[in-house]
Amino acid sequence: MADNAHGSQPVVRFETHPSRYQHLKLSFDGAIARLSLDVVEDKPLRPGYILKQNSYDLGVDIELADAIERLRFEHPEVRAVVVSSNQPKIFCAGANIYMLGSSTHAFKVNFCKFTNETRLSLEEACAESGQHYIAALNGVAAGGGYELALACEHIVLCDDGSSAVSFPETPLLAVLPGTGGLTRLVDKRKVRRDLADVFSTLAEGVRGKRAKEWRLVDEVAPKSKFDETVLARAQAFVSSTPERKGPGVTLPALEARRWEQDGRCGADYRYVAVSVDAEQRLAQVTALGPEGAPPKTAEELRRLGADAWHLRFARELDDVLVDLRFNQPEVGLVVLKTAGDGAAVRAWDEALLTLAKDDWFAKEIVLKLKRTLKRLDLMAKSLFSFAEPGSCFAGTLLELALASDRTYAKSGETQAFIALSSMSFGPLPMPNGLTRLETRFLGEPGKAEALREERDFIDAETALEKGLVTFAPDDIDWDDEVRIAIEERASLSPDALTGMEANLRFAGPETMESKIFARLSAWQNWIFQRPNAVGERGALTMYGRPERPEFDWRRT
Amino acid sequence: MSTVVTSEKIPNNVDLSSDKKLQRALEAWQPKFVDWWKQMGPEGFQEDDVYLRTAVSVDSDGWAHYDYVKMPDYRWGIFLADPIPDRKIGFGDFMGQDAWQSVPGEFRNILRRLVVTQGDTEPASVEQQRLLGAICPSLYDLRNLYQVNVEEGRHLWAMVYLLQSHFGRDGREEAEALLERRSGNPDKPRILGAFNEPCKHWLSFFSFTYFTDRDGKYQLLALAESGFDPLARTTRFMLTEEAHHMFVGETGIQRIVERTVELMKKNKNEDARAEGGIDLPTIQRFINFWYSVSLDLFGGEISSNAANYFASSLKGRAKEEKYEDHVALTQVMNIDVPIVEAGAFKGMKSEEVPLRNAMNEVLREEYVADSQRGLDKWNRVIEKAGFSFRFKLPHKRFHRASGIYAGLTFDPEGRPISREEWEAKKDEWVPSPADDAYVLSLMQKPIYDPNQMANWIAAPPRGIKGQPVNYAYVRHEA
């Protein structure tokens, strides 16, 4: 997509490749991969700050996200990934403070959200893909640096008297760790809450044996035994993890065709198209269903590789979503449409899920779909789906509608049809751990499960009756209803809408993941724009300056 | 006047006997300290009588008490300079308020870090120097080495006192950790780089006491200004001892230079090495090395920590009273900052840095000027002898491992050079293994006869505390 009209921030592109990495080194030794942070100080994503001490910005995290993704698809032989630093005495200093200090609020929020998604994809790789991440802390891991370690399955800390783990955010900057750190401390690592309290107010952090006693790390090793310890741990993971039959599947560049015309801009991918109307603050995303018969065997699927419809679609949609978040801050409403053959979508869904039982690649595709749809759930933009005649909201693509705040399906003479598939009943859960159907029908227990019987295409009227769509206007009303829905939505406060939608989307139980994003939205975002952090005398503003911060002492 | 309870295990002027809890903590720490001293202190001379100065009180008579003592029996005590009545904080955001007698909760952690970092250097230097006795040039020098060592031990005590009395359980653990780290040990290194550099021979020892202990002097001067009064008083007293260490370094190098020019005159090619001495260019290389690693100890040129320490009235400037503006909020300092693009050096630009953020550099500049004074004296020796060689301090950018010049290569004049050029020339500028080997070769035979002096160093003009130079300062059975 072309540059956003209002951008003070430069356009960010999310596609990269190891050959273009500036900050990460990815190397392989059989089943063990090494992901080494070596952040180049003078290569920030935008000018104005220096990436000292292996601190990161979005540019670094884009490489990390890419590396995690490529390891899963391109390197099935890898069963352990050692994350460490190539810089002396520092593992990672976390998100760059001067970058945060000079970023807009919206950018900070989206940055934190993206880094959270990256950490979650890393955790998912450990849990689902048999790729076990080990944080080898050969130096200080501060703030986001420790949060990266927390996302790993196993943390080894060098016991050299200076390597430490720390959350200096509160004592130094008057903000919170923004990448789920506090939640992971007590929820994932089950650090005792009082110790977590002490830890999170101690700027210099905790070193050596105490870090292990407090469960902040899993293992400490002296410097002379450090590499050996990490390697032994990696080898242990390798030997306890089943092998995945290669070869890997290369992920080529998406090669979107970006255009700009008459005040609108957009991008055409193979299965996804997006167009942005800046004046209306509206983006329309159209997904195309698959063509032809689905692959019947793992070999056929492998031959399709990255061109397999599900994978290609997921990668393209993913790219569109992050693009809308970062490069189109003023777009408030995303209209989701589909086009194609719903029967084909269902056929591809069933074929993929059958293969995913035994084939790692098919399984990876399903996981990628899952991550991408979660990314959609977490958009801080209104989502409306419009199901029109010729659309294919079926199976995988029905999830777009189920993820939406509202769905309009056209009834009347030429109707829209929707359909369920096995994808609707488990493989693609939301961050709360439930399927979108389960979350939708929390008030009617058993209903989601009962829908398994719905094997046919469902017309708009019936879909309305069954609660699968919000409205089903007929031929006479459709155009007006759609227009008014868009115009009305566009008139409401973007802040109130973001908060309202986040509240309504994630009913039901909490998971670590849902807590992280909820608290990111509620607490982190709030603290991040309070005067105590970013006011004229706030701690984030004053960091590195000669004066000390001043606080407004009133508690809320 | 302070009252000192010398009859106790721990001589002190801090009324230790009235604080049973602290007394117990320190008495528990003492055996661990003595164990450390026996294990990591001077090798081979622990049972010898050494003519040492022991501080028994802080007034001018009390801290210069001389007698023979076996080092493990040395009475490491706790002394704070006498309190200044109604002392006010003299700089930073808390300027004008009463000096703190206890640690402000807000600054507990950073203050503890300051104390630990300072404290860590003290035992480190003892460890670095522990093998020098076996290659000593004279009993006079041997005694000076041990005087320096026991006083570094006492400085450790001073910092441990602060940790134990003001920082609770964390402080006690840090006090133990000070005895667990080991200079140069990759698993448990000392905190600061220069204190992990081996001090293999006496030329390094004298360079260390001249240059590295001088960093200590400036750190202590800055801490002596602290709003935390116990730290200010402790460091004020430590400064009186530190002066002797620098004296040992300055006169040590001076005596080497005196001997070197003597040997040069003797040799028809003015070749000191041919006469078994240390040639002037070699001495210059050791100056270059120890001076540059000591510059690193001052910390980053542009430092938010330094600003924070100053703003919080925890660490001031040396002799703060000589400055006019003690708040330092409006001033700036111009610092030459390297421009690095894509890993390549592209030149320097002058950057205006808020003065508080440049406090490390302020202290470093004073150190640079102070360091020059010894070189001037040594150069006068060479000049008098009629030789044209002159020692020069290398540029601040030369051979730096921390701060804005780290990772870049400069020649001793501060001119940027390529890494290839550095590799090609470094042996001319900093000591090579061959230099170390040569200097060590001169010291293979230690001198334990009070009437002798090693060939590579001149005798001092006078002895200690009125004793002759050939006094048996250490009673050692060779």
User: What domains lie within chain B, and their CATH numbers?
Assistant: 16-475 (1.10.620.20)
Domain boundaries, chain A: 19-239, 262-497
State yes or no: pLDDT of B377 exceeds 50: yes
CATH of A19-239, one of 3.90.226.10, 3.40.50.12780, 2.60.40.10, 3.40.190.10: 3.90.226.10
Residue B59: partners with Cβ closer than 8 Å, 6 or more residues away:
B1, B2
In this structure, whether the domain defined by A262-497 belongs to CATH 3.90.226.10 is answered with yes
Q: Are the Cβ atoms of A203 and B109 closer than 8 angstroms?
A: yes
Q: pLDDT band at A9, cuts 50/70/90? A: low
Over range B13-39, report the average pLDDT. 87
* Helix, strand, or coil (residue A208): helix
What is the tens place of the pLDDT at every residue in B399-447?
999 999 998 999 999 999 999 999 999 999 999 999 999 999 999 999 9
- Chain A residues with CB-CB distance to B304 below 8 A: 543-545
Q: pLDDT band at A4, cuts 50/70/90? A: very low
Q: What percent helix, strand, coil does chain B show, rounded to 5? A: 50, 10, 40
Q: Are the Cβ atoms of B93 and A548 closer than 8 angstroms?
A: yes
Residue B396 CA to residue B410 CA, distance in Å, equals: 10
Which amino acid is residue B474, in one-letter code?
Answer: V
Q: pLDDT band at B21, cuts 50/70/90? A: confident
ipTM above 0.85, yes or no: no
Q: Least CB-CB distance to A546: which of B191, B343, B356?
A: B356
Q: Are the Cβ atoms of B186 and A223 closer than 8 angstroms?
A: yes
- What share of chain B in percent tops pLDDT 70? 97
Residue written as tokens 């420790």?
Answer: A146
A357 touches chain B (CB under 8 A): no
Q: Please state the length of chain A.
A: 556
Q: Which element (helix H / strand E) includes A478? A: helix A478-491
Burial B421-444 (b: 16+ CB within 10 A, else e): eeeeebeebbbeeebbebbeebbe
With beta carbons less than 8 A apart as the criterion, state whether A143 and A94 touch.
yes
B356 touches chain A (CB under 8 A): yes
What is the tens place of the pLDDT at every residue in A511-541?
999 999 988 877 877 888 889 998 999 998 8
Q: pLDDT band at A543, cuts 50/70/90? A: confident
- Chain B residues with CB-CB distance to A161 below 8 A: 177, 181, 188-189, 191
8-state DSSP, B278: -
pLDDT at A7: 42
State yes or no: pLDDT of B7 exceeds 60: no
Q: Are the Cβ atoms of A544 and B343 closer than 8 angstroms?
A: no
In this chain, the answer to whether the domains covering A19-239 and A262-497 adopt an identical fold is yes
Q: Strands A393-394 and A264-268: what pairing?
A: unpaired
pLDDT at B8: 62
State yes or no: pLDDT of B19 exceeds 90: no
Burial B267-291 (b: 16+ CB within 10 A, else e): eeebebbebebbbbebbbbbbbbbb
Q: Are the Cβ atoms of A160 and B187 closer than 8 angstroms?
A: yes
